[in-house]
Structure 1
Amino acid sequence: MKVQVVKSKIHRVKVTQADLNYIGSITIDEDLMDASNLIEGEKVQIVNINNGERIETYVIKGDRKSGVICLNGPAARRVAPGDLVIIIGYAYMDFEDAKSFKPQLCFPNEETNMLD
C-alpha cells in the first residue's frame, strides 16, 4: 500500500510578488528549493496564513539569494505581496517506509526569506 506524506516544506515565507499575467505556478528562490528538497516542475500546495487560502500549483526556479516567492497566473488572486505562506510538497511512498521517513523542512527568515 502507498500513502501520501509530506516530503518538503518551506514554513512561513513572505510572498514578494503576485503576477496575474504570467502563465501559472510559483517562483521560488533556488536556495529555498534546495533547502526544502523541491524541484522545478514539482506539484506543491501553498497555504496562505493571512487568509486561509489553499492553492495547488507547480514550482519554477527563481534566482538564488533573491528571496523571491511569486505566485503567478490565477493563484496571484489568492495572495498579496507581504502575505505569509507555507509551501508543501508531498510524495507517495510505501506504507512501511513512510513510518520512518523524515521530511526536509526549511524555516527561512520571515522578513528576508533567506536562510540564517
Structure 2
Amino acid sequence: MLVQILKSKILRAETTDAIKDYEGSLAIDELLMKKVGLMYGEKILVGNITNGKRFETYAIPAPAGSKTISLRGAAAHMGQKGDLLVLMSFAMMTPEEAKAWVPSTITLAEHNSKIIKSQNALQ
C-alpha cells in the first residue's frame, strides 16, 4: 500500500500577476522551487488563501530571484495580483517511509521579499 504525503509547500506566496492568454500553469521563482524541491512540470495543488479557491496545475520556473508567482491560462481565473497562495506537491510513499518523512516547506514575507520560515528546505 502507498499513501500520498506532503512533499513540498510554499506558504503565503503572493500572486505577482494573472495572465489569462497563456497555455496554463503557475510560474514560480526558480530559487523558491529549488528550496522546496519542486520540479519543472510537477503537479501542484494551489490553495488561494484570499478567495478560498483550490485548484490543480503544474509548476514552471520563473527567472531566479524574480520573486514571481504568476497565475497563467485557466489558473489565472482562480485569483488575481496580490492574492496569497499555498502551493503544495505530494509524493507516494509506503507507510514506513511516510513515518520518517519531513516535507520541505517555506513561508514567504510580504511581496515574496524573503523566506521568513523554513523546514527541511534545500540550500
Q: Same fold (TM over 0.5)?
A: yes
Q: CA deviation at 1:110?
A: 2.5
CA RMSD of aligned residues (A): 1.0
Q: CA deviation at 1:36?
A: 1.1
Normalising to structure 1: TM-score of the pair? 0.95
Instruction: Spell out, residue by residue over 1:78-108, the C-alpha distance to the aligned partner (whole angstroms, 9 max, x if none).
Output: 1010000000000101111101100000112
Given that residues 13 and 113 in structure 1 are in contact (C-alpha distance below 8 angstroms), is that contact kept between their aligned partners in structure 2? no
1:100 corresponds to which residue? 100
Q: CA deviation at 1:109?
A: 1.6
Q: Distance in 1 between matches of 2:46 and 2:17?
A: 14
Given that residues 6 and 88 in structure 1 are in contact (C-alpha distance below 8 angstroms), is that contact kept between their aligned partners in structure 2? yes
1:54 corresponds to which residue? 54
2:3 corresponds to which residue? 3
Instruction: Spell out, residue by residue over 1:45-65, the C-alpha distance to the aligned partner (whole angstroms, 9 max, x if none).
Output: 110001110010001111011
Within a 5 Å distance, the mapping from 1:33-112 to structure 2 comes to 33-112=33-112
Q: Percent identity?
A: 41
Q: Distance in 2 between matches of 1:98 and 1:64?
A: 31
Change (3 A) 1:113 1:38: farther
- Consecutive unaligned residues of structure 1, counting only runs of 5 or more, are none
Q: Distance in 2 between matches of 1:52 and 1:113?
A: 23
Q: Distance in 2 between matches of 1:44 and 1:61?
A: 13
The DSSP-based 3-state class of the residue aligned with 1:50 is coil
Given that residues 14 and 69 in structure 1 are in contact (C-alpha distance below 8 angstroms), is that contact kept between their aligned partners in structure 2? yes
Q: Distance in 1 between matches of 2:79 and 2:66?
A: 19
* Pairs aligned (count): 116
Normalising to structure 2: TM-score of the pair? 0.90
- Consecutive unaligned residues of structure 2, counting only runs of 5 or more, are 117-123
Q: CA deviation at 1:113?
A: 4.1
Which has the bigger relative contact order, CA under 8 A and spacing at least 6?
A: 1
1:25 corresponds to which residue? 25
